[in-house]
Amino acid sequence: MRSAFFNALLEAAGDNPRINLITADLGFGVVEPFAKRFPGRFLNVGVAEQNMTGIAAGLAMSGKTVFTYSIANFPTLRCLEQIRNDVCYHRADVKVVTVGGGFSYGALGMTHHATEDLAIMRALPEMTVVAPGDPIETVHATRAIAITPGPAYLRLGRAGEAAVHTGPIEFQLGRAIKLRDGADVTLVSTGAMLQTCAKVADLLEERGISARLLSMHTLKPLDEAAITCAAGETGAIVTVEEHSVLGGLGGAVAEVLAESGISPLRFKRIGLPSEFAKYVGSQEYLRARYGLSEPAIVQQVLALLDAKPAAVRRRYA
């Protein structure tokens, strides 16, 4: 996803001389092409994310479109006050781009895990929140936020994610992409869990279960129509995210469902518990420990489909 983002950014910057890039002493291998091509529009501020965000806000207020870039938790949580007060309050044209969502930097421990970022960014007024599912979505997302005025948060993976989409896609901020249709359950994925969810859908199909798959690349604004449509047309909804179950994709979908009036409905949030990781290891290892592997997700979906809805249990209690 990183390479896809920087290729798309280079293209956008070639078309738009107002685009600037600021990094916090990170990512030289992928950042250097931009710095060499547009030296007057690139700045490395060092390990000083608060300053990075303040400078970005100032440049934006003078008419620039500014992308900031670092490891997922640093340009979000470390400088949250600057994002809130300097960027969002003034609706400044700053795009906060992070690499390594979830457990991407798993071996470096909880200080480098980004497991609350979607919830926090989603809560900020004026902020658009985007977590593309593969490199193809990343290119479209980069182009979209580059031409959309105002603050945006773009969350990327760093595990060399493969393309899940096999052809051209119609990408629009705030509109989910349906990768496959199904009647028994809807899998709603955000970010780098898309490839896993596609494989889960295949495994469910082998068991005779028809699974719809939605890539919810934009968490804010959320595609409420896609959610309520899935609730009315499929037997259950399962959200999957490499993020806390509080406030991210699962929380956002639950809010829509709670107000939709569609009942009874089988619904489950698959994500991380609201706790700091007890383990250290690779992203794959940590996903498996927290129930985000393909077999674990399949078992959780099967258990949900096997359970009777709460309204039915009450009726026969």
pTM exceeds 0.85: yes
Task: Show which of 103, 122, 156 is a domain's final residue.
Answer: 156
- Whether residues 182 and 124 share a domain: the answer is no
Residue 228's pLDDT is what? Answer: 96
How does DSSP assign 217-261, residue by residue?
A: -EEES--HHHHHHHHHHSSEEEEEEEEETTTSHHHHHHHHHHHH-
The reply to whether 167 falls in a domain is no
- Whether residues 102 and 187 share a domain: the answer is no
The reply to whether 187 falls in a domain is yes
Instruction: Provide mean pLDDT across the span 298-310.
Output: 84
Residue 108's pLDDT is what? Answer: 87
* Total domain count, the chain: 2
Instruction: Say which CATH number the domain at 25 has.
Output: 3.40.50.970
- Whether residues 108 and 138 share a domain: the answer is yes
The reply to whether 186 falls in a domain is yes
Determine how many CB atoms are found less than 10 A away from the CB of residue 208.
Answer: 7
The reply to whether 164 falls in a domain is no
- Whether residues 192 and 291 share a domain: the answer is yes
Task: Show which of 121, 156, 191 is a domain's final residue.
Answer: 156
On the question of pLDDT at 44 being above 70, the answer is yes
- Structure confidence by residue, pLDDT tens digits, 179-223: 999 999 999 999 999 999 999 999 999 999 999 999 999 999 999
Residue 316's pLDDT is what? Answer: 26
In this structure, of 21-35, 231-245, 283-297, the range with the lowest mean pLDDT score is 21-35
- Whether residues 152 and 181 share a domain: the answer is no
The reply to whether 171 falls in a domain is no
Residue 300: give the domain boundaries. Answer: 177-315
- Structure confidence by residue, pLDDT tens digits, 138-175: 999 999 999 999 999 999 998 788 999 998 999 999 99
- Structure confidence by residue, pLDDT tens digits, 58-71: 999 999 999 999 99
Instruction: Say which CATH number the domain at 181 has.
Output: 3.40.50.920
The CA R_g of the chain, rounded to the nearest whole Å, is 20
